[in-house]
Structure 1
Amino acid sequence: MKILKIPFLLIWRVWFYLLIIVTIILMAPFLLILTAKEKYYGMFWKMVRVWAKFLIFAMGFRLSIQNDQELECDKSYMFCPNHASLMDPFVLIALSKNPIVFVGKQEFVKIPVFGFFYKRVVIMVDRSNPESRKRVYEKAKQKLQNGTSMAIFPEGLVPTENVILAPFKNGAFSLAIEFGIPIVPQVYYDCKRFFSWDFFKGRPGVFRVRQHKFIATKDLKINDKEALKQQTFELIYNDLVNDSKYMKDTNRPNNEREFKSPI
């Protein structure tokens, strides 16, 4: 039966990339205008949210959200979801009415068409370059105003199927403390199950998302970043290992739930 599904999976996957390419080309004139000046970013975000929702819907997915705490429109946050699928950024964009600035990898600039607009709206970082990391702070300070938030996938890119939750990097937690903005831990249970890195796996379905209560950083010092990182890691990790559907698709037995420290 699995062999019979392969042609349909390939068509479905190709459909995803065609959707992205065609919609970006169609939106290009508007994106050129809305990414030209910082004051247009709010309108840009509304357009991108519609785009993200359309892509999720057109791929046969739906969203089921559990919010332990609601966002306030005039406040800034640091969003920290787990990351195990190409669909993760689209889910994050679709969920947030607050404009979000992503901190992303410089390598994505090389992607044709997408890369052109990516470099105009994303704070790019080269983790191997200390000077690049310093520039992230400067650019973030400029953008974190009028309710604009930030988003960093603290694991980085996780292509392997058997990883429950990869060790977190420091960037999100250092920035959150630096600017006194709360961490918003989000748990994506199903993106990996339904749209994994494996081209021959996946299907339409419901993406369950849990947004935990926010973790305050206002009174923290930079030396507290390790404890903050550990707290966020444990919160997301415990949710994932206690979800039988997620664990089934990590290619690991449920009894292998040893904690892996992010430090």
Structure 2
Amino acid sequence: MTDIMLMLVTVKNPFVFVGKKELAKIPLFGFFYKRTCILVDRDSLRSRHAVFESAERRLKSGLSICIFPEGGVSEEDILLDQFKDGAFRLAINHQIPIVPITFADNKERFSFDFFSGSPGQMRVRVHEFLPTAGMTLKDNCKALKEKSRNIILNQLEVYKWKSH
């Protein structure tokens, strides 16, 4: 949930989230979440396809789309999980740039263990836009996905090193 709140504070352009439908069940937060997001049931192929159609309509209306490409959060001690293809396919199909954003402190501030976490700074880094003009899915989706992930992973490693 902190990713969502940090996005709202960081990005000033109008955008809509693509998010997992389970979060809509959280009291109060869920009320606003389901009214501002394109909800996806990650277990349903049909739902995942419907997300693309809904996202395309929103893009055509001038909104940006925010997708967290990890597709979930691992409870394991992984700095950054592998990315799924969806955000990159959408960007290439519409020839719109990818904007990698690093959230450095979310797991430390709000971890999975109820009595852990700590108050403190929540650092955000908005990286340079990655253009998709002229790219095709066949040749560039995997490369774009890996480039985005490496930018964020490298920044997380810098933040981790600086905080210790």
- TM-score, with length taken from structure 1: 0.56
Q: Does the 8 Å contact 1:155/1:169 carry over to 2?
A: yes
Question: 2:143 matched to 1:227?
Answer: yes
Q: Does the 8 Å contact 1:240/1:247 carry over to 2?
A: no
Aligned residues: 163
Corresponding residue for residue 194 of structure 1: 109
Question: 2:121 matched to 1:121?
Answer: no
Q: Which runs of 5+ in 2 are unaligned?
A: none
CA distance in 1, matches of 2:22, 2:109: 26
Return the index of the structure with the highest Cα Rg: 1
Deviation at 1:133, TM superposition (A): 1.9
| Higher RCO, Cα 8 Å, sep 6+ | 1
CA distance in 2, matches of 1:228, 1:247: 29
Distance 1:118 1:230, change over 3 A: same
Corresponding residue for residue 240 of structure 1: 156
Corresponding residue for residue 99 of structure 1: 14
SS at match of 1:102: strand
CA deviations over 1:148-179 (Å, ceiling 9, x no partner)? 11111111222425111101111111111111
Aligned partner (choices 169, 178, 184) of residue 93 of structure 2: 178
Distance 1:97 1:243, change over 3 A: closer
Distance 1:117 1:88, change over 3 A: closer
1:131-170 equivalences under 5 Å are 131-145=46-60, 147-160=62-75, 162-170=77-85
**Percent same amino acid among aligned pairs?**
46
Range that drifts further, 200-209 or 94-103: 200-209
CA deviations over 1:95-115 (Å, ceiling 9, x no partner)? 111111111112223334443
CA distance in 1, matches of 2:60, 2:162: 36
Q: Does the 8 Å contact 2:18/2:38 carry over to 1?
A: yes
Q: Does the 8 Å contact 1:187/1:236 carry over to 2?
A: yes
Q: Does the 8 Å contact 1:98/1:147 carry over to 2?
A: no
CA distance in 2, matches of 1:143, 1:164: 31
Specify the code of the residue in structure 2 equivalent to 1:241. Answer: E
Distance 1:206 1:109, change over 3 A: closer
- TM-score, with length taken from structure 2: 0.87
Specify the code of the residue in structure 2 equivalent to 1:140. Answer: A
